[in-house]
Structure 1
């Protein structure tokens, strides 16, 4: 108990000395040991790394989980070392609602069939989102969080210790300065007494004792200063090595950033592929769901396409993407080999995205290429006839930019 009280009193004394030194430095009443410029640059670089890592981490968490309540719940589970419960993504929840709606409203109706197809696509999108969140959390968020909760805490601890060592060093310097000043004063007071006096006055004896006392104080202060300087230099070197390790942290975070970009690219590629498949399914089913329904204005009929189909006519291309024209119900599908482009109404179109033909009646497209397009009566308004050289086939309007 006595030992603990002594240690407590010693710690309190050290704390008080540091507090006094820190306060005097703030008021400009005490000198402060300055670190070299390179060390200060390392400190500033480390602080900047920590601040931006925190911001990137927080915003990435918002990107992966926009719901703040869910983020708080996941944080609590992690702090309690418990497994985070599996969550249904928004896409999967939407797919569930659409599937239930299709089942109740009629799965064989056009609306029910479309709901089922969209629900399947949303389910795939939700699964892709789940994989992306999992991959990004492991490859990107975890290394950033490990740096803040591991390496940065170690750096902060050593920096606080270095600050204490610096305060101790400056306090020792101040004590040595005061001891030397007191010694000089005591020596000067003793020298004022004449040497020829046999009986020396009392003040000379006191001055001589004070001088000897301050000599001891100076020696003690110099010894404490040497110890404090050694401890400060050792701690400064340890802290410097940790701060120089920030460069390795940047390299590690760079690798994690590349992995994050790769996972995000994979996620968006999967979403694009699923939506293309859905678009093809919905585009090919438009004619069956809405047979003979077209929007636009009709143009006067052109000469017959062939002798075998004298009633088949062609329509001039409208200005907008919609195709004009009406077709009699039950008309047979046109044979592309027998279809000739109209004398007027053809347009140039630039392809926006790659398109893979679903069957022989469609024309495969490559992004940024130019093709000739035109419409025929009875065609689905979401499709046009496209020509590239001697190749011909149906192309989706949504993949084209019609040029004037």
Structure 2
């Protein structure tokens, strides 16, 4: 118990000394040991890495889970080392509602059949979203959290130790400076040996006392300098390891982009399949009419650049792929308007022909269109002057 009390008293004395040194530095009453420029750059780089990692981590969590309450719940489960419960995605919930609506409104009706088709597509989208969230959490969020909760805590701990070692070093420097000043003052006391031998004895004793204080202060300074240098080297090595952290985070970032690309590719494929199903179903439900006479099913992202519009639209089959098996491809030179007649159509968006069988379109121009028996309902034959070719229905507004 006595030993513990002495240790507590010693720790309290060290804490008090550091507090005094820190306060005097803040008021400009004490000198401060400055770190070299390279070390300061390492500290600033580490702080920036920590701050931006926190921001990227938080925003990625928002991207993967926009619901704040759900994020808090998942955080609590992780802190309690419990398995996070499986959560239904928004797409899966929408698919469930659509399926229930189709069952109640009539699954054999046109509306019910369409609800079921969209429901299946939304279910696949929800499953793809679930896979993306899981992959992104493992490959991207987990490494960022590990850095903040592991490596950064170690760096912070060593930096605090370095700060304490620096305060101890500067306190030792201040004590040595005071001891030397007192020793110099004691050595200048007038020699009263002849008149006052007692004063001479006292001055000699004071001088010897301050000599001992100087020696003690120099010894403490050497120890403090050694501990400071050792701690500075440890901290420097940890700070230089930030470069390895950047390399690791770069690899994780590539994995995140890869998983996100896969997710969007799956969504595109599912929606393209759904669009084809809806086109075929609409042609069967409303025979003899044109599909997509109101708004296009999937307008391109840009109506100004034909190249951009063609790149963002779904890949459509060519003329050769439209021909039934075993028959020759459609020859545009031999195509004539059907007996049902032709119609005028206004072009909604620019369209760049994928091959010679298609007709390039410019927004707002008027063309003549007609269909052929057995032709894909998503396509029409378009004519402009002496030019003729297949055109996508989703790019047209058919005029009465």
1:200 Cα shift? Answer: 3.5
Partner deviation per Cα, 1:157-195 (whole Å, 9 max, x = no partner): 0000000000000000000000000000011xxxx6776
Q: 1:5 to 1:96 in 2, by over 3 A?
A: same
- Kindly indicate whether the alpha-carbon contact (under 8 Å) linking 2:347 and 2:396 is maintained by their aligned counterparts in 1: yes
Per mean C-alpha deviation after superposition, the further-off stretch among 314-323 and 212-221 is 314-323
- Residue 284 of structure 1: CA displacement? 1.2
Residue 207 of structure 1 and its aligned partner are, at CA, apart by: 1.5
Q: Residues 234 and 110 from structure 1, CA distance in 2 versus in 1: closer, same or farther, beyond 3 angstroms?
A: same
Structure 1 range deviating more: 81-90 or 299-308: 299-308
Superposed CA offset, 1:181-214 (max 9, x none):
0000011xxxx67769545443322211111100
The aligned residue for residue 320 of structure 1 is 316
Task: Please tell me whether the aligned partners of residues 314 and 377 of structure 1 are also in contact (alpha carbons under 8 angstroms).
Answer: no
For residues 92-116 of structure 1, what are the alpha-carbon distances to aligned partners after superposition, in whole Å with 9 as ceiling and x for unaligned? 0000000000001000000000000
User: 1:289 offset after TM fit, Å?
Assistant: 2.0
Q: From the superposition, tell whether residues 358 and 155 of structure 1 become closer, same or farther in structure 2 (CA, over 3 Å).
A: same
Once residues 304 and 58 of structure 1 are traced to their aligned partners in structure 2, the CA distance between those partners, rounded to angstroms, is: 33
Report which stretch shifted further, 192-201 or 340-349.
340-349
Contact 1:302–1:342 under 8 Å retained in 2: no
Structure 1, 340-349 or 319-328: larger mean CA deviation: 319-328
Decide whether the 8 Å contact of 2:92 with 2:127 is kept in 1: yes
* CA spacing shift, 1:98–1:184, aligned 2, 3 Å: same
SS at match of 1:371: strand
Q: CA RMSD in A?
A: 9.9
- Would the aligned equivalents of 1:327 and 1:377 in 2 still touch at CA under 8 Å? no
CA contact (8 A) 2:272 2:314 kept: no
Task: Rate the CA distance shift 1:29–1:101 in 2: closer, same or farther, 3 A.
Answer: same
Q: CA deviation at 1:287?
A: 2.1
Distance 2:3 2:23 in 1: 30
Q: 1:344 to 1:227 in 2, by over 3 A?
A: farther
Distance in 2 between residues matched to 1:44 and 1:311, nearest whole Å: 46
1:296–1:391 CA distance, 2 compared to 1 (3 A): closer
Q: Give 1:57 deviation, angstroms.
A: 0.2
Which moved further from structure 2: 9-18 or 347-356?
Answer: 347-356
After superposition, the C-alpha distances for 1:273-296 in whole angstroms (9 at most, x for unaligned) are: 000000000011112223345699
Answer yes or no: is the 8 Å Cα contact 2:292–2:394 preserved in 1.
Answer: no
CA contact (8 A) 2:77 2:84 kept: yes
Change (3 A) 1:51 1:403: farther
- Classify the secondary structure of the residue corresponding to 2:346: strand
TM-score (norm 2): 0.78
* Residue 318 (structure 1) shift: 23
Counterpart CA distance in 2 for 1:376 and 1:301 is: 22
Q: Which has the larger radius of gyration?
A: 1
Q: Secondary structure at the match of 1:349?
A: strand
Kept in 2: contact 1:91–1:125 (CA 8 A): yes
Give the whole-Å Cα distance in 2 for the aligned partners of 1:390 and 1:365: 14
